[in-house]
Amino acid sequence: MELIRIYSADERVETINRIYTESFPVQERFGMDIIMRLADEGVLEVFAIMQSGITAGMLITIVDDVSAYIAYFAIDKAFRGQGLGSEVLSGICSTYSGRQVVLEIELMDKNAPNYEQRIRREKFYTQRGFSHTGRFIRYSGVTYEIMFAGKQRFDKAAFDRLMDSRRDKEFQPLLFDAGHYSTYIFDLDGTLLDTLDDLTASTNHAIASVGCAPHSREEICSYVGNGIEKLIHRALPEDVTQEVFEKAFAEFKAHYKLHCNDRTKAYSGIMELLSTLKAHGKKVAVVSNKADFAVKELCGEYFGGLADICVGEREGVRKKPAPDSVLTVMDELGSQPKDCLYIGDSDVDIATAANAGIDCISVLWGFRSEGFLRQSGAAALAQSPNEIAVFTLCDDNDS
């Protein structure tokens, strides 16, 4: 086996591109023209994996003086099952001797359709000297766990510098660590429950009562997050009188009290996540800007004993992003900031966690997009409820 570094003019690029395209789903790939341009510029290193004079695989790395990051590594189907992968890994470690060799693996998500394949891949790497780092990287809409070999300890700062040095329009990685927490504090709307249909119905009922035209579900989605008073303010024209606002607000509260659970539902995977957290002895709370009566009714209906404390908007208590309700919940549960994780779907939740001095995971199944959450300072992102367990229950799962 031989690793041959290639550039855009090499005749093997066509074969490399075929193996690359066959081995990685479209959402995980960059265009081969971009890759080879970066290879010519020295940003990436591209290798043909040669076996008996035949291109048997491909390898793409990002390298500096401390780290060698295996961005893509694939063996052609015709050469799989012959031990070539082990040879290549050994060759990579030799090529980058003295550096930490870093690679990514798919998350050990039990709900993934290829979970067994993921387990086999993780076992393959650990048997060949790679170790878990507890560090995650997300780009192109996919999150991976980082593993490393070649050094006794993973140099996280050096790896992060390497990734930062390669950022461009096409590559914007988000890096974050696994955390270990005793207390999980959740937002409600857009995080645990999909409440948007009922919020839309009650908002449109309220503004219709004062002669205003209805809004679409998408428009209402953009208004939520700062409490029901703000929701009605945003749904009404800017120039309405206080009297009109108060009438619409009263109509909303009366209607929503009766209809807050007509079409609301828990997001897929939420009940399993909460059950898993309780099975691991974790404390669970809900803190929302929704009216307290609705929070308590919905949490009682959906979560029962799975949530220890549930609080909403109350008279005399500042709403999120002020940390007041979160700090009260932490005090009632006897939890310290270092032991707490906040989970939410909005910029308000990111700010709330920061103001409370606790870690935050932003979720991607709620009311805000990944781009918006990144721009708002999201430190970690979860694609599904089970990813929260993957990110935070590593040690518990291993025991």
Over the stretch 152-168, which tens digit does the pLDDT of each residue have? 999 999 999 999 988 88
DSSP code, position 281: T
Query: Does residue 374 sit in helix, strand or coil?
Result: helix
Q: How many CB atoms lie within 10 A of CB 346?
A: 26
**Average pLDDT estimate for 52-67:** 96
Report the CATH number at residue 203: 1.10.150
Amino acid identity for residue 73 in this structure: F
Residues 168 and 218 in one domain: no
Q: How many domains does the chain have?
A: 3
Of 128, 143, 177, the position where a domain reaches its end is 177
**Average pLDDT estimate for 135-152:** 92
From the list 154, 34, 139, the residue with the least C-alpha distance to 371 is: 139
396 falls in which pLDDT band (50, 70, 90)? low
Residues 391 and 283 in one domain: yes
Residues 268 and 255 in one domain: no
Residues 53 and 120 in one domain: yes
List, in order, residues 6 or more apart from 198 with CB less than 8 Å away. Answer: 256, 259, 260, 261, 262, 263, 264
Over the stretch 306-354, which tens digit does the pLDDT of each residue have? 999 999 999 899 999 999 999 999 999 999 999 999 999 999 999 999 9
Residues 116 and 248 in one domain: no
Rounded to 5 degrees, what are φ and ψ at 268? Answer: -55, 130
From the list 318, 340, 321, the residue with the least C-alpha distance to 329 is: 340
Residues 211 and 331 in one domain: no
Q: Which long-range contacts (CB under 8 A, 24 or more apart) does 356-361 make?
A: 356/323, 356/326, 356/327, 356/330, 357/323, 358/185, 358/326, 358/330, 359/179, 359/181, 361/388, 361/391, 361/392
Tokens at 114, concatenated: 């290829």
Please state, in angstroms and rounded to a whole number, the distance separating the CA atoms of residues 170 and 216: 33
Q: What local confidence, expressed as pLDDT, does residue 397 receive?
A: 43
Residues 252 and 355 in one domain: no
E strand or H helix that includes residue 124: helix 115-127
Cβ atoms 182, 335 nearer than 8 A: yes
Computed over every residue of the chain, the mean pLDDT equals 93
Whats the size of the chain, residue-wise?
399
List, in order, residues 6 or more apart from 264 with CB less than 8 Å away. Answer: 193, 194, 195, 197, 198, 298
Helices (H) and strands (E) in the chain, counts: 16, 16
Residues 322 and 393 in one domain: yes
Q: What local confidence, expressed as pLDDT, does residue 394 receive?
A: 66
**Average pLDDT estimate for 180-190:** 96
Between 30-39, 104-113, 284-293, the lowest mean confidence (pLDDT) is in 104-113
**Average pLDDT estimate for 115-127:** 92
Of 244, 259, 274, the position where a domain reaches its end is 259
CA 256 → CA 227, 247, 248, 251, distances in Å?
13, 14, 12, 8
Which structural domain range is residue 123 located in? 2-177
Report the CATH number at residue 154: 3.40.630.30
Report the CATH number at residue 353: 3.40.50.1000
Residue 324 forms beta bridges with which residues? none
Residues 165 and 47 in one domain: yes
- pLDDT > 90 fraction of the chain, expressed in percent and rounded: 84
Q: Which of 10, 64, 177, 187 is catalytic?
A: 187
Please state, in angstroms and rounded to a whole number, the distance separating the CA atoms of residues 69 and 139: 15
Residues 168 and 302 in one domain: no
Backbone CA torsion sign across 200, 202, 205, 206: negative
Residues 38 and 152 in one domain: yes
Judge whether 187 counts as a catalytic residue.
Answer: yes
E strand or H helix that includes residue 300: helix 292-302
pTM, two decimal places: 0.85
Residues 117 and 223 in one domain: no
